[in-house]
C-alpha cells in the first residue's frame, strides 16, 4: 500500500483517523501500532514477523544496555549484538543474492533462493540501530514500554520510506503530544503538497523518462531530456513521499525531521548533500563518519572516512554495482571540493556554481537510474557521443511534457515561499488545493503511471 493509492486515501486513512481521534490518548499508540502493522502487512504479510523480530531484538538490547550503563564491557556486548543482528538481517534480505551472484562470477556455482526485498527494511533497520547506539551513548534512556517502542519502529507514516526518525526525535511525543485542529490542518496541507508532487509532477516526468530510456533509438537531446526528467522524478517522488509522511505525522501529533530543503538550488555537491535526504546524511555523519574520526584527523584518514561513508551510502541504496559507483562518484567529488575546488568555486559567479552543481548531480542520477551496466553504457553514449542531435521524438516529447518539466523546475526552488500569506491568499490556496486534489484523484482513478522509486531501497 502506498500513500498515493485510492485504497489508502479513501479507505485506510479515513477509517484510521476517525478511530485515532475518537479513542482516549492512552489508546492512541495502540491504534497507531495496530493500523501500522496492517499497513505493512497489506502487501507482504510474512515480513511483518521480520519487523516484529527486529523490534524485539532492539528493545531487549536497549534495556540491557541501560541496565549495565556503568559496565562498559557488558553494555558494549549488547550494542554489538544489536548491530550484528540488524546488519545480518539487512545483509540476508537485501544483499545475499548480490553477493552470491558476484562470487559465482569467479567460477563458483553457489545456488540460493531469490529473496524478496522486505519493504522499508533499510529504513527501519537504521532506525532501530540508531536507538541502540543512542542508548549506549547515553543520549536517551531505554524505552520500558514495549508498546511505545514498537509504535516508534512501526508507525506507518515513515515506515516504508522515511524520513529516518530517531527515537530521541519523538520519544517525548510517544508519551505526550499535542493533537489539535490546527496541527491536523497543517499536516493535511503538507500531506496534500506531497501528494501533488508525486501524482502531478513525478508520475508525469517519470513516465516520459520510461518512454525515452526504453527506446532503442535516442537522439542526444532526447537522452538529456530523459535524464532531466528522471532527476525531477526522483526528487518529487521522494520529497513528495517525505512531505506526505511529515504531514501525516503532524496530523497525529508527531514532528518528524525535515528531509529535503530544495537541493537543486545548491551551488556545490557539498551543499546538495546537506539538502538532499537529510535524515540519511545526518545518520551516516553521526553514526559512521564522526566515530571514524570525522575531519579531526590527518587528510589521508579524513579521505578514507569520506570514501567509507559514501561507499556505504551507495550500498545502502541498493544491491547493485551502479549504486556503489554512484556513492563513490559523489564521495570523490566531495573530497575534491573539500581539498580545493570549493574555494575556487566561491570566486565564480553564482550561476556558474549552480550550473556546475546541476551538471554533476544529473550525471550522478544517470549512474543511479540504471542497474543494468549495459543500459547505463548505452544511455551514456547517447548523451555524450551521439551524432543524432535531435529527432521527431524529442519534439513530440518536449511539446507534450513541457508543462510538467517547467512546473518541476519551478517547484524545485523556494519561489512559492515568497508569496505573502493573508486571508485572501489562504482562500485562493484552498481553492487551488481542492482543484489539484480532484485532478490528482482523477489521474489515480484512470490507473495512470504511479510507481514509487524508493520502495526498492
pLDDT, tens digit only, all 457 positions of the chain: 788 889 999 999 999 999 999 999 999 999 999 999 999 888 778 888 999 999 999 999 999 999 998 888 999 999 999 999 999 999 998 989 888 888 988 888 888 888 888 888 888 899 999 999 999 999 999 999 999 999 999 999 988 877 999 999 899 999 999 999 999 999 999 999 999 999 999 999 999 999 999 988 899 999 999 999 999 999 999 999 999 999 999 999 999 999 999 999 999 999 999 999 999 999 999 999 999 998 888 899 999 999 999 999 999 998 899 999 999 999 999 999 999 998 999 999 999 999 999 999 999 999 999 999 899 999 999 999 988 999 999 999 999 999 999 999 999 999 887 777 777 888 888 899 999 999 989 888 886 676 766 655 5
Domain of 380?
A: 183-456
CB atoms closer than 10 angstroms to residue 421: 9
What is the number of structural domains in the chain?
A: 2
Active site residue 317: yes
- The answer to whether the beta carbons of residues 160 and 456 sit under 8 Å apart is no
Do 194 and 173 sit in the same domain of this protein?
no
**Does the residue 333 lie in any domain?**
yes
Do 107 and 232 sit in the same domain of this protein?
no
Do 164 and 137 sit in the same domain of this protein?
yes
* Last residue within a domain, chosen from 157, 177, 197: 177
* Last residue within a domain, chosen from 151, 177, 203: 177
**Does the residue 148 lie in any domain?**
yes
**Does the residue 99 lie in any domain?**
yes
Chain-centre distance for alpha carbon 157: 13
pLDDT at 447: 67
pLDDT at 134: 94
**Does the residue 146 lie in any domain?**
yes
pLDDT at 300: 92
Do 348 and 414 sit in the same domain of this protein?
yes
Stated length of the chain: 457
pLDDT at 162: 73
| Residue 378: DSSP 8-state | H
pLDDT at 452: 65
| CA distances (Å), origin 224, targets 150, 169, 180, 230, 389 | 45, 40, 47, 10, 10
Count helices and strands (H / E) in the chain. 23, 0
Do 21 and 117 sit in the same domain of this protein?
yes
pLDDT at 448: 67
Do 128 and 247 sit in the same domain of this protein?
no
Do 413 and 432 sit in the same domain of this protein?
yes
Do 358 and 311 sit in the same domain of this protein?
yes
Q: Report the b/e string of 106-128 with b at 16+ CB within 10 A.
A: eeeeeeeeeeebbbbbbbbbbbb
- The answer to whether the beta carbons of residues 40 and 8 sit under 8 Å apart is no
- Write out the DSSP string of 207-220: HHHHHHHT-S---H
**Does the residue 420 lie in any domain?**
yes
Do 312 and 380 sit in the same domain of this protein?
yes
Do 165 and 212 sit in the same domain of this protein?
no
**Does the residue 1 lie in any domain?**
no
pLDDT at 45: 82
* Last residue within a domain, chosen from 148, 177, 206: 177
Do 250 and 126 sit in the same domain of this protein?
no
Amino acid at each position: 500500500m502506498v500513500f498515493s493509492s485510492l485504497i489508502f486515501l479513501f479507505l485506510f486513512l479515513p477509517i484510521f483517523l476517525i478511530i485515532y481521534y475518537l479513542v482516549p490518548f492512552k489508546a492512541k499508540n495502540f491504534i497507531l501500532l495496530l493500523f501500522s502493522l496492517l499497513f505493512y502487512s497489506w502487501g507482504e504479510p510474512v515480513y511483518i514477523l521480520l519487523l516484529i523480530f527486529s523490534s524485539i531484538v532492539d528493545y531487549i538490547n536497549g534495556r540491557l544496555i541501560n541496565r549495565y550503563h556503568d559496565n562498559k564491557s557488558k553494555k558494549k556486548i549488547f550494542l554489538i549484538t544489536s548491530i550484528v543482528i540488524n546488519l545480518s538481517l539487512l545483509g540476508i534480505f537485501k544483499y545475499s543474492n548480490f553477493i552470491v551472484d558476484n562470487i559465482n562470477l569467479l567460477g563458483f556455482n553457489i545456488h540460493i533462493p531469490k529473496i524478496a526485498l522486505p519493504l522499508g527494511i533499510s529504513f527501519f533497520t537504521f532506525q532501530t540501530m540508531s536507538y541502540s547506539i543512542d542508548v549506549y551513548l547515553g543520549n536517551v534512556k531505554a524505552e520500558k514500554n514495549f508498546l511505545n517502542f514498537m509504535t516508534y519502529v512501526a508507525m506507518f507514516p515513515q515506515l516504508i520510506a522515511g524520513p529516518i526518525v530517531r527515537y530521541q526525535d519523538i520519544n517525548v511525543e510517544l508519551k505526550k503530544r499535542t493533537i489539535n485542529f490546527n496541527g491536523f490542518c497543517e499536516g493535511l496541507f503538507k500531506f496534500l503538497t506531497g501528494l501533488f508532487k508525486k501524482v502531478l509532477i513525478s508520475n508525469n516526468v517519470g513516465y516520459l523518462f520510461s518512454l525515452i530510456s526504453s527506446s532503442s533509438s535516442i537522439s542526444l537531446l532526447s537522452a538529456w531530456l530523459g535524464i532531466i526528467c528522471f532527476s525531477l522524478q526522483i526528487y518529487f517522488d521522494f520529497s513528495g513521499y517525505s512531505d506526505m509522511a511529515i504531514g501525516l505525522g503532524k496530523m497525529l501529533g508527531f514532528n518528524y525531521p525535515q528531509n529535503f530543503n530544495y537541493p537543486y538550488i545548491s551551488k556545490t555537491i557539498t551543499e546538495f548533500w546537506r539538502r538532499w535526504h537529510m535524515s540519511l546524511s545526518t545518520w551516516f555523519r553521526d553514526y559512521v563518519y564522526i566515530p571514524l574520526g570525522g575531519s579531526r584527523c590527518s587528510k589521508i584518514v579524513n579521505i578514507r572516512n569520506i570514501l567509507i561513508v559514501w561507499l556505504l551510502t551507495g550500498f545502502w541504496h541498493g544491491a547493485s554495482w551502479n549504486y556503489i559507483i554512484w556513492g563513490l562518484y559523489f564521495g570523490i567529488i566531495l573530497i575534491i571540493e573539500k581539498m580545493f575546488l570549493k574555494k575556487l568555486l566561491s570566486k565564480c559567479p553564482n550561476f556558474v556554481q549552480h550550473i556546475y552543481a546541476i551538471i554533476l548531480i544529473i550525471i550522478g542520477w544517470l549512474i543511479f537510474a540504471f542497474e543494468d551496466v549495459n543500459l547505463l553504457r548505452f544511455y551514456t553514449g547517447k548523451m555524450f557521443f551521439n551524432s543524432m542531435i535531435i529527432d521527431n521524438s524529442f519534439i513530440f516529447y518536449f511539446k507534450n511534457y513541457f508543462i510538467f518539466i517547467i512546473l518541476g523546475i519551478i517547484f524545485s526552488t523556494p519561489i512559492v515561499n515568497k508569496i505573502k500569506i493573508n486571508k485572501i491568499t489562504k482562500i485562493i490556496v484552498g481553492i487551488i488545493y481542492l482543484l489539484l486534489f480532484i485532478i490528482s484523484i482523477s489521474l489515480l482513478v484512470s490507473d495512470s503511471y504511479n510507481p514509487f522509486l524508493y520502495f526498492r531501497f
